Amino acid sequence: MIGGWLEGEGKRRGYPGALLVGYYDTGKFVYAGKVGTGFSDATLDKLNQLLKPLAIDKSPYDAGSPPRAAQFVKPKVVAEFEFVEWTRGGQLRAPSFKGFRIDKKASEVVREGG
């Protein structure tokens, strides 16, 4: 689940350089880290279209510490990420964007993979 993004640099300026992701745990939206790889140019365009209208001023996360420079969004866009493991701090290690999950509701996003 996407809860925000950090602006990219260079050719990614104005586009998401990294997504801030999370999951629901007993009704609370928990920050799980940032994902900065796996995006094609077409994916970046789609992310811009989906995320900009969902912009909010405050963090949507109930737990965890997302970066202060983040641009937060309402957690409505569900995506799939591949990662090596969960860190002891509860964040994704070496995550990569794999695609959008239009078949899954935001409320169904929970921690998976251990």
Instruction: State how many domains the chain has.
Output: 1
Beta bridge partners of 85: 93
Residue 83 lies in a domain: yes
Residue 113 lies in a domain: no
Checking if the pLDDT of 87 tops 90, the result is: yes
How far is Cα of residue 18 from the mean position of the Cα atoms in its chain?
A: 8
For the whole model, what pTM was predicted? 0.91
pLDDT tens across 22-81, in order? 999 999 999 999 999 999 999 999 999 999 999 999 999 999 999 989 999 999 999 999
Range of the domain at 90: 2-108
Residue 114 lies in a domain: no
Residues 16, 52: Cα–Cα separation, whole Å: 10
CATH number, position 72: 2.40.50.140
Beta-carbon contacts of 5 under 8 Å, excluding residues fewer than 6 positions away, are 16, 17, 18, 19, 20, 47, 51, 70, 71, 73
Checking if the pLDDT of 19 tops 70, the result is: yes
Checking if the pLDDT of 114 tops 70, the result is: no
User: What proportion of the chain, given as a percentage, has pLDDT over 70?
Assistant: 99
